[in-house]
Amino acid sequence: MVLTPPFEPMLAQAAEYVPGSGVLASGFAAEQKFDGHRAILFTPAGPGGRLLLQTRRGSLVHDRFPDLVAAAEQLPDGLVLDGELVVWDTEAGQLSFEALQRRAAARSRTATALAAKTPAFFIAFDLLQQDGQELLARPYAERRALLENLFSEHALTAPWTLCPMTTDLAKAWEWLQSWTDVSGVEGILIKPLTSRYLPGYRGWTKIRRRDTTETIVGAITGTLTRPQLLASAATTRTAGCVRSAAPYRCARRRHGRLPSTSPRPPPGTRGRACASRRRGGVVTSWTPPSSTPAWWPRSAPTGPSTAAASSATRCASSGCAWT
């Protein structure tokens, strides 16, 4: 079977912490999760064809990324890759989700102009078809080996990037702790080494980092059960008391009810405000001061580790690098 668009990608379910070594005893891979747009890339079956770029929802958007189309000559025919679209802001010197959104909405001349200012990169994390032969039934470990061989054999360079992967739980824990300080990296993906690629199925686990801080809630708008805005003050060692007002997404909206462990934030009380990096520091949840961040592992990882399959692709044209 030859894969063609529209194609439904495999999905991930959200989790709040890294599973323990016992849960992952059968073997796993951890990949860095970038804050971009999911995309499926199709190269032509033969000469004269063109590269196609499909979104998660099935829309074709290759006309909005002419820089990727121009670089398609590096890729062999009959190839299908699953990955993440990201954009590098040359002025800011970092990945930019806002610039990616602008590029995704651009057409014609605007798309070409934006490509020069904010170049796009395709971070590949799965190989679904090679030489016209689909690989969905192959285990993840085999598909990953073929993907790494594709990059080395064809000496692929920017804008094609190999997603960093490790089978070392300690390394995955380190990524979640430190790499998420980098703009554009929001967490990790956990994938069983033996898993097949199942379109539409949530067989992977995604873990996003969320930072917490002590805050004093002074007032809210909306109701206590469904607050809309928090007026809060946070005390820091260097800046003293910092005041802010930010939209608040109630736990009831995410889970259908307020968990008993997360009481409503009454005005004038202390608690922890959890801010998502992708939302630019916007408060998205609140927990009492006795709680610890839900996403953080409860203990250091234990057990044997295996050598990580590492990749270091440097984007010479933009100065960005992932290791």
Answer whether residue 119 shows pLDDT above 70: yes
pTM score, whole prediction: 0.68
- With 0-12 / 13-18 / 19 or more C-beta atoms within 10 angstroms meaning exposed / middle / buried, residue 59 is exposed
pLDDT of 16 over the 60 cut: yes
Question: Could you tell me the two tokens for 271?
Answer: 């608690």
Q: Comparing 140-154, 180-194, 210-224, which segment has the lowest mean pLDDT?
A: 210-224
pLDDT for position 169: 85
Cα separation, 187 vs 207, in Å, equals 5
Report which DSSP code applies to 97.
H
Question: How, if at all, do strands 160-162 and 120-130 pair?
Answer: parallel
pLDDT band at 181 (very low <50, low <70, confident <90, very high): low
Question: Letter for the amino acid at 178?
Answer: S
Least trusted range by pLDDT, from 54-58, 174-178, 294-298: 294-298
Percent of the chain with pLDDT over 90: 46
Q: What are phi and psi of 252, to 5 degrees?
A: -60, -35
- Confidence at residue 177, expressed as pLDDT on a 0 to 100 scale: 82
Q: Return the CATH architecture of domain 11-208.
A: 2-Layer Sandwich (3.30)
Instruction: List Cβ neighbours of 200 (8 Å cut-off, separation of 6 or more).
Output: 8, 9, 10, 11
Higher per-residue pLDDT: 309 or 17: 17
Instruction: Say which range, 111-115, 124-128, 162-166, 242-246, has the weakest mean pLDDT.
Output: 242-246
Catalytic residue among 33, 117, 191, 206: 33
Which residue type sits at 74?
A: Q
223 half-sphere exposure, CB direction, 13 A CA radius: 3
Whether 33 is catalytic is: yes
Residue 174 has pLDDT above 50, yes or no: yes
- DSSP conformation letters of 274-312: EEETTTTT-EEEEE-TT---TTS-SS---S---------
CA 223/CA 272 separation, integer angstroms: 19
Mean pLDDT throughout 114-140?
95
58, pLDDT greater than 50 = yes
Q: What mean pLDDT do residues 273-297 have?
A: 37
Q: How far apart are CA 16 and CA 24, in angstroms?
A: 16
Q: Which of 129-143, 173-187, 190-204, 234-248 has the lowest mean pLDDT?
A: 234-248
In the predicted model, what is the mean pLDDT of the chain? 75
User: Is the pLDDT reported for residue 273 higher than 90?
Assistant: no
Q: Which helix (H) or strand (E) holds 247?
A: strand 240-247
Domain boundaries, the chain: 11-208, 210-287
Instruction: Kindly report, residue by residue over 25-45, the tens digit of the pLDDT.
Output: 678 999 999 989 999 999 998
